[in-house]
């Protein structure tokens, strides 16, 4: 028998030398050919020269021309990686991860070595990393640790046209950093030990970091920093003006004609209209993949399910449709699936969020379906609430979306609204900084030593009112001293945690209430889109299945029960079967219980990360055991800003904003209608619904949040 096994390994080795190696060579040749054929390839030398000659350069180029994947490689070959890392920021996690994977492959290196990425909760880089993709938010957090961003020789702010709040703040910060570095000035730096967004540094490493910054301060002269702003939209002027008339260059793209089709009438149900259009294209049009723009994970998963249900009803020969979803919380190995060609004879239909608008270019697309909607975070400074709402896209977005159909040949775009509607769309989306709660940004700027927020050099000023409201929120959460500095320890702890300030506060309070173990679970679950998987047609069934977890106290304790039950199930399985099999079994368990296994997995990852974060901060992770009272009081002490009281007509009045809200039907308290509630999320449809609701005792509010509520005499 030993002979036989030897033999078989031997054969395997020979095979490895032939088969896979030949594949490898062929694949490399194919990649080289692809790289050379990209529109940007002709401009390689010109771009490297421009970067050499300009400290700030703005590069505008059509989506898909090769900016994101190629420019960092050109710069590395041009010698820019010698004195530091080439950093590229992306507004979206998915883009940072998939592009890094692609570039590592193009360079023929293992991901995490020469080419790597870092996003919140995940760092795949090493000391040998020269090209580092990351989210804009992550680089901002790195600045807390290393105010001069001294390890970078070049920073590329990609997708600047998206104008995320992180990009905007980053631009302001980079402007100062670049100035300081070109002067070689080393003034005092902020030495607070703050974790980077992925939170993996240990306390010790942080100490090392701060001593090395000090060394920088005393000895080593800082080297200059090159700054590149990349954008897909033609409007480079705003960036150029902001950087004192910086030079802008254009990279020619390649675009084939795209036929735009509109509906005759407005659609009442765009999900249904989308489904019909997918099948119409599949059954009536020639080969080519379909890209569909949807608003979020729930919508994508529900359309995916509806397609799968309808497919078996088609004739056998027409069933070759491969559905591939892509959205932010999809595990990263699944995200790469959108780039793989479908099996021969199959048509691929990609269900994407607006991630596929400019951040990712997926090969093979000939048809685009654009229902014309997008999910946006909005902020109402007068009420302080920040709901996610589904709104119409801008004209610029509609154009970007249709452009995706004409990358490799003529294509078609189906806009699921009448042509007259197109002309009524807003020209472009309002920058996020003008429509979001600024608490997080202010916290970070303060931690960076920027005391005068109103005086910060923003590329576009946020509303004064929004700044004031957000400062107020941070005051109420105890993040500031009376002099508007970060308070010690709460303000500093809040700045260290990679979470919304309200959630950070909840963890800090929980450590005092001895229920941090429970709160970590709750915050992790609140950080994912939705843990439930409730197909419209199985609503009743799913409610029954979930009943065993529900708590009369509300959704927070229900979430806790679900997490613990799943954990127990997984641990028990692992005693008898392998980890892989246990995870598979857990997915089945999730399905039976109408729980979204992807979201649960995501929440589990977040949970282990934030648990590590708080442990590193020295908070004690203890449990309140069987007694849920401390935890419920802790919920009130943390989320007091979102408290609401029942009114005679069974609606609720939010105490801080005065807004009238209803409990969302998905809440376990939907029928119970307790007197006083706290909630975490406001969903705005035709009504104001609150989700993730728990019942509290009204009297806890003045006791636990006296800064906000006074006892009535």
Stretch that binds Mg ion, among 60-68, 134-142, 490-498, 582-590 (CB under 5 A): 60-68
Task: Tell me which of ligand ADP, Mg ion, none is bound by residue 339, counting a contact when its beta carbon lies within the kind-specific cut-off of 5 to 8 angstroms.
Answer: ligand ADP
Candidate list 55, 65, 122, 348; residue touching ligand ADP; CB under 6 A: 65
Task: Tell me which of ligand ADP, Mg ion, none is bound by residue 153, counting a contact when its beta carbon lies within the kind-specific cut-off of 5 to 8 angstroms.
Answer: none
SS (H, E, C) 100-142: HHHHHHHHCCCCCCCEEEEECCEEECCCCCCEEEEEHHHHHHH
Stretch that binds ligand ADP, among 57-65, 462-470, 517-525, 575-583 (CB under 6 A): 57-65
- For ligand ADP, the binding residues in 21-50 under the rule CB under 6 A are 38
Angle at 33 between CA 411 and CA 233, to 5 degrees: 50
How far apart are the C-alpha atoms of 521 and 603, rounded to whole Å?
8
Candidate list 184, 224, 257, 363; residue touching ligand ADP; CB under 6 A: 363
- Which positions from 302 to 341 touch ligand ADP by CB under 6 A, shown as an x/- string? -------------------------------------x--
Decide if residue 233 touches Mg ion (CB under 5 A).
no
**Is-contact 228 154, C-beta < 8 A?**
yes
**Is-contact 549 565, C-beta < 8 A?**
yes
Stretch that binds ligand ADP, among 61-69, 260-268, 316-324, 558-566 (CB under 6 A): 61-69
How far apart are the C-alpha atoms of 50 and 55, rounded to whole Å?
9
Give whichever of 68 and 551 is closer to Mg ion, judged by the CB atom: 68
DSSP E strands in 136-192: the ranges are 152-157
Stretch that binds ligand ADP, among 17-25, 62-70, 654-662, 680-688 (CB under 6 A): 62-70
**Least distance (Å) from Mg ion to the CB of residue 227?**
17
Candidate list 65, 68, 196, 596; residue touching Mg ion; CB under 5 A: 68
Peptide bond into 20 cis (omega under 30): no
The footprint of ligand ADP on this chain (CB under 6 A) covers a number of residues equal to 15
Stretch that binds Mg ion, among 68-76, 186-194, 276-284, 539-547 (CB under 5 A): 68-76
Give whichever of 68 and 429 is closer to Mg ion, judged by the CB atom: 68
How many CB atoms are located within 10 Å of the residue 361 CB? 18
Q: Which two tokens stand for residue 674?
A: 């307790």
Cα-Cα-Cα-Cα dihedral sign, residues 350, 356, 362, 368: positive
Give whichever of 339 and 589 is closer to ligand ADP, judged by the CB atom: 339
Give whichever of 306 and 362 is closer to Mg ion, judged by the CB atom: 362
**Least distance (Å) from Mg ion to the CB of residue 63?**
6
Decide if residue 226 touches ligand ADP (CB under 6 A).
no
**Is-contact 389 376, C-beta < 8 A?**
yes
Task: Tell me which of Mg ion, ligand ADP, none is bound by residue 288, counting a contact when its beta carbon lies within the kind-specific cut-off of 5 to 8 angstroms.
Answer: none
How many CB atoms are located within 10 Å of the residue 400 CB? 22
Decide if residue 63 touches ligand ADP (CB under 6 A).
yes
Give whichever of 400 and 688 is closer to ligand ADP, judged by the CB atom: 400
Rg (CA), the chain: 26
Stretch that binds ligand ADP, among 64-72, 435-443, 608-616, 692-700 (CB under 6 A): 64-72
Run of H or E residues at 243: none
Give whichever of 30 and 620 is closer to ligand ADP, judged by the CB atom: 30
Decide if residue 435 touches ligand ADP (CB under 6 A).
no
Angle at 682 between CA 627 and CA 669, to 5 degrees: 40
Decide if residue 403 touches ligand ADP (CB under 6 A).
no
Candidate list 68, 153, 196, 597; residue touching ligand ADP; CB under 6 A: 68
How far apart are the C-alpha atoms of 196 and 209, rounded to whole Å?
11
The footprint of Mg ion on this chain (CB under 5 A) covers a number of residues equal to 2
Among residues 544, 531, 581, 567, which one has the least CA distance to residue 692? Answer: 531
Task: Tell me which of Mg ion, ligand ADP, none is bound by residue 363, counting a contact when its beta carbon lies within the kind-specific cut-off of 5 to 8 angstroms.
Answer: ligand ADP
**Least distance (Å) from ligand ADP to the CB of residue 145?**
28
Q: Which two tokens stand for residue 38?
A: 């990209």
Decide if residue 64 touches ligand ADP (CB under 6 A).
yes
Rounded to whole angstroms, what are the CA distances from 218 to 186, 221, 222, 301, 324? 8, 9, 11, 55, 54
Secondary-structure breakdown of the chain: helix, strand, coil percentages, each rounded to the nearest 5: 50, 15, 35
Map tokens 């150029």 to a residue. 240
**Is-contact 393 478, C-beta < 8 A?**
no
DSSP code for 664: -
Stretch that binds Mg ion, among 10-18, 63-71, 125-133, 137-145 (CB under 5 A): 63-71
Run of H or E residues at 289: strand 289-293
Give whichever of 67 and 101 is closer to Mg ion, judged by the CB atom: 67
Run of H or E residues at 73: helix 67-77
How far apart are the C-alpha atoms of 613 and 408, rounded to whole Å?
46
How far apart are the C-alpha atoms of 459 and 246, rounded to whole Å?
14
Stretch that binds ligand ADP, among 68-76, 310-318, 615-623, 657-665 (CB under 6 A): 68-76
Candidate list 47, 61, 300, 688; residue touching ligand ADP; CB under 6 A: 61
**Least distance (Å) from ligand ADP to the CB of residue 360?**
7
Decide if residue 361 touches ligand ADP (CB under 6 A).
yes
Give whichever of 61 and 501 is closer to ligand ADP, judged by the CB atom: 61
Task: Tell me which of Mg ion, ligand ADP, none is bound by residue 431, counting a contact when its beta carbon lies within the kind-specific cut-off of 5 to 8 angstroms.
Answer: none
- For ligand ADP, the binding residues in 77-116 under the rule CB under 6 A are 98, 102
**Least distance (Å) from Mg ion to the CB of residue 251?**
11
Candidate list 69, 297, 609, 692; residue touching ligand ADP; CB under 6 A: 69
- For ligand ADP, the binding residues in 457-486 under the rule CB under 6 A are none
How far apart are the C-alpha atoms of 673 and 420, rounded to whole Å?
44
Give whichever of 62 and 529 is closer to Mg ion, judged by the CB atom: 62
**Is-contact 144 189, C-beta < 8 A?**
no
Stretch that binds ligand ADP, among 63-71, 452-460, 529-537, 572-580 (CB under 6 A): 63-71
Stretch that binds ligand ADP, among 58-66, 314-322, 323-331, 486-494 (CB under 6 A): 58-66
Q: Where are the alpha helices (DSSP H) in 499-596?
A: 501-512, 516-526, 539-546, 555-576, 579-592
Residues whose CB falls within 8 Å of the CB of residue 672, separated by 6 or more in sequence, listed in order: 552, 695
Among residues 707, 704, 680, which one has the least CA distance to residue 691? Answer: 680
**Is-contact 505 489, C-beta < 8 A?**
no
**Is-contact 603 528, C-beta < 8 A?**
yes
**Using CB under 5 A as the criterion, which residues of the chain lie in contact with Mg ion when the complex forms?**
67-68
**Using CB under 6 A as the criterion, which residues of the chain lie in contact with ligand ADP when the complex forms?**
38, 61, 63-70, 98, 102, 339, 361, 363
């Amino acid at each position: 028998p030993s002979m036989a096994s030897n033999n078989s390994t031997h054969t395997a080795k020979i095979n490895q030398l032939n088969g896979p190696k030949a594949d490898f060579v062929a694949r490399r040749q194919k990649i080289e050919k692809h790289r050379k054929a990209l529109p940007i390839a002709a401009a390689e030398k010109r771009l490297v020269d421009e970067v050499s000659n300009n400290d700030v350069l703005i590069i505008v180029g059509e989506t898909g021309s090769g900016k994101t994947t190629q420019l960092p490689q050109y710069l590395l070959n041009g010698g820019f990686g010698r004195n530091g890392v080439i950093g590229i920021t992306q507004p979206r996690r998915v883009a940072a991860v998939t592009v890094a994977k692609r570039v590592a492959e193009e360079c023929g290196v293992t991901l995490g070595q020469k080419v790597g990425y870092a996003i919140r909760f995940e760092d795949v880089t090493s000391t040998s990393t020269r090209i580092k993709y990351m989210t804009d938010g992550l680089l901002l957090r790195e600045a807390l640790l290393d105010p001069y961003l001294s390890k970078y020789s070049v920073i590329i702010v990609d997708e600047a046209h998206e104008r995320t709040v992180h990009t905007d703040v980053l631009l302001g910060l980079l402007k100062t950093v670049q100035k300081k570095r070109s002067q070689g000035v080393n003034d005092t730096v902020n030495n607070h030990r703050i974790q980077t967004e992925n939170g993996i540094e240990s306390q010790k490493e942080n100490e090392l970091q701060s001593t090395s910054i000090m060394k920088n301060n005393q000895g080593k002269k800082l080297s200059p920093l090159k700054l590149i702003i990349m954008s897909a939209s033609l409007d480079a002027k705003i960036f150029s003006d902001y950087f004192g008339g910086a030079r802008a260059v254009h990279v020619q793209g390649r675009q084939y004609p795209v036929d735009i089709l509109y509906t005759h009438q407005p659609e009442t149900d765009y999900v249904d209209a989308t489904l019909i259009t997918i099948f119409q294209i599949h059954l009536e049009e020639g080969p080519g993949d379909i890209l569909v723009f949807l608003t979020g994970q729930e919508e994508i998963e529900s359309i995916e399910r509806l397609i799968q249900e309808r497919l078996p009803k088609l004739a056998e020969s027409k069933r070759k449709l491969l559905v591939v979803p892509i959205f932010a919380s999809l595990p990263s190995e699944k995200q790469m699936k959108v780039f793989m060609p479908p099996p021969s004879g199959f048509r691929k239909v990609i269900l994407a969020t607006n991630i596929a608008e400019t951040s990712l270019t997926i090969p093979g697309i000939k048809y685009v379906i654009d229902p014309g909607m997008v999910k946006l975070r909005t902020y109402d400074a007068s009420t302080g609430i920040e709901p996610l709402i589904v709104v119409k896209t801008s004209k610029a977005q509609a154009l970007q979306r249709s452009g995706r159909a004409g990358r490799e040949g003529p294509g078609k775009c189906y806009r699921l609204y009448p042509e007259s509607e197109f002309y009524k769309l807003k020209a472009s989306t309002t920058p996020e900084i003008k429509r979001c709660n600024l608490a997080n940004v202010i916290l970070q700027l303060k931690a960076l030593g920027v005391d005068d927020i109103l005086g910060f050099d923003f590329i576009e000023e946020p509303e004064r009112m929004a700044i004031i409201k957000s400062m107020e929120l941070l005051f109420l959460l105890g993040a500031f001293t009376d002099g508007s500095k970060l308070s010690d320890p709460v303000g500093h702890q809040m700045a260290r945690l990679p979470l919304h300030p309200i959630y950070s506060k909840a963890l800090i309070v929980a450590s005092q209430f001895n229920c941090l173990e429970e709160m970590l679970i709750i915050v992790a679950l609140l950080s994912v889109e939705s843990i439930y998987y409730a197909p419209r047609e199985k609503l009743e069934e799913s409610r029954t299945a979930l009943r065993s977890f529900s708590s009369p106290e509300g959704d927070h304790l229900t979430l806790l029960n679900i997490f613990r039950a799943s954990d127990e199930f997984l641990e028990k399985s692992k005693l008898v079967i392998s980890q892989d099999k246990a995870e598979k079994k857990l997915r089945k368990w999730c399905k039976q219980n109408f729980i979204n296994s992807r979201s649960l997995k995501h929440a589990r990852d977040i949970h282990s990360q934030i648990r590590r974060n708080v442990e590193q901060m020295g908070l004690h992770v203890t449990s309140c055991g069987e007694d849920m009272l401390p935890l419920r009081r802790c919920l009130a002490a943390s989320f007091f800003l979102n408290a609401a009281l029942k009114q005679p007509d069974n609606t609720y009045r939010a105490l801080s904003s005065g807004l009238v809200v209803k409990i969302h039907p998905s809440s376990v308290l939907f029928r119970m209608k307790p007197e006083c509630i706290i909630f975490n999320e406001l969903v705005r449809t035709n009504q104001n619904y609150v989700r993730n609701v728990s019942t509290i005792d009204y009297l806890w509010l003045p006791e636990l949040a006296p800064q906000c509520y006074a006892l009535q005499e």
